[in-house]
Amino acid sequence: MAGYEVVHVAVAVPNIPEPEIIKKVAAIVNKDPYQTRLLLSGGLPKLIAHYHSLQEAESTSRNLIDLGLAAFVCKDSELRKPSKVFTAHTLESLDGETIFRDKGGQTKRIPSGDVFLILKGSLQTPAEEETTVTRKEINWGATLLTGGFPVSRTVKEKIGGVAVQAESLVRLYNRESSEPTVQMLQHAIAYSFLGARIAPSSAANFNTVVAKLQELFPRAIFDDRLTKSSRSDAPSARAPDDLELNCKLLYLYYKTKSGLSRSE
């Protein structure tokens, strides 16, 4: 059908609500209380209901807001749209602007008041790895030659597996778009611009860069919950996709929250 699009309702709660609230939420979104409790855990915005019309989604959102929850509506097309991110290699501050440069020399200039949100997170990428295992086994040919006296030999065997490569990132957003204006990756930054503040480890340097960005954009909201929530004991092929979704939901949450604050 032309114009058809799924519309989601997302909700964010800092702590798991009381059982009575969970029951009321479950009734509103037509889910069982146990499943609803799981959706309300973790502290991050979660997609809790899905509809075929904007009117239905907005009605559910209003009902959740009446319960004291932070709820908002988002279209599937916005959440699933691939991000084209400018990845900065270095930065400098000049005349009230911050100039970001990528590895190709392209620049992006951002005035100090133009950043609405700073998100710090951890990108976990599954990667194939090989481990060499050494073991002993009987060399039957040599054993026969010795008249049955056991002769062993060393065998090296390669075993495949999946490992997780973790990398910290920080993204800057303006008010106009859920697409990040700039991102910086822990292992893709030339830290020399830190000068005397440079440290021996990239982790320490990255944290210094994030602190510097907070200084350069003092009016921006800062959120680092994705440094914790994206950690996982099991490698997942969806990890990068999950990060993209969480970033967009956090952006939409803060935009909705700030819009409500201005209208109150």
| Residue spans per domain, the chain | 7-80, 90-127+164-263, 128-161
> Taking the domain 90-127+164-263, which CATH number applies?
2.30.29
The C-alpha angle 158, 160, 162, rounded to 5 degrees, equals 150
Residues 153/136, Cβ–Cβ less than 8 Å: yes
Average pLDDT over residues 45-55: 94
CATH fold match for the domains 7-80 and 90-127+164-263: no
Residues 233/249, Cβ–Cβ less than 8 Å: no
Summary mean pLDDT of the chain: 86
- Tell me what pLDDT residue 155 has: 73
Residue 61 reports pLDDT greater than 60: yes
Residues 209/194, Cβ–Cβ less than 8 Å: yes
Pick 131 or 48 by higher pLDDT.
Answer: 48
Confidence (pTM)? 0.79
- Tell me what pLDDT residue 236 has: 41
Residue 44 reports pLDDT greater than 70: yes
117 forms bridges with which residues in the sheet?
173, 221
The C-alpha angle 53, 55, 59, rounded to 5 degrees, equals 125
pLDDT band with cut points at 50, 70 and 90 for residue 124: confident
Rg (CA), the chain: 25
Average pLDDT over residues 169-177: 95
Average pLDDT over residues 77-91: 91
Fold type of domain 7-80: Ribosomal Protein L30; Chain: A, (3.30.1390)
How many CA atoms lie within 13 Å of 201's alpha carbon, on the beta-carbon side?
4
